[in-house]
Amino acid sequence: MDEDEARELLRAERDRVERLLDDAVRSGLDNRSAAGEPGDMTDSAEPLTSEQTNDAITAALRERLEAIERAEQRLAAGTFGRSVHSGLPIPDDRLRADPATELTVEEAAEAR
């Protein structure tokens, strides 16, 4: 995969994840605000469940941004498209599906 295509894939993925993260943070703030308002207290666990769900989504999206940042660093270093574990090439189709991937399919399966 050439650098321009890799850079564009990573930029698009970063934009997508940042939008999702902004939405999740906003939703979490709304849920926390609503939980503090007086009102129907028939299901007091619902706001807590919503907060925990938003927190988990936000954490996962932040981890995804970190993976994108590592991929951008590999691109700058000239090692993008190679496994961080073995140095083996990662197929372009896999990189197109997930431009932040760090392992080959086989290595990812072994890590599970």
Range of the domain at 14: 3-111
The enclosing domain of 83 has a CATH number of 1.20.120.910
User: Around 29, how many Cα atoms within 13 Å sit in the side-chain half-sphere?
Assistant: 5
Domains of the chain: total:
1
- Ranges 26-35, 67-76, 84-93: which has the least confidence: 26-35
pLDDT digits (tens, 9 = 90+) for 28-59: 666 555 555 555 555 555 666 677 888 899 99
Cα separations (Å) of 15 from 1, 5, 8, 76, 79?
21, 15, 11, 19, 22
Model-wide pTM > 0.75 = yes
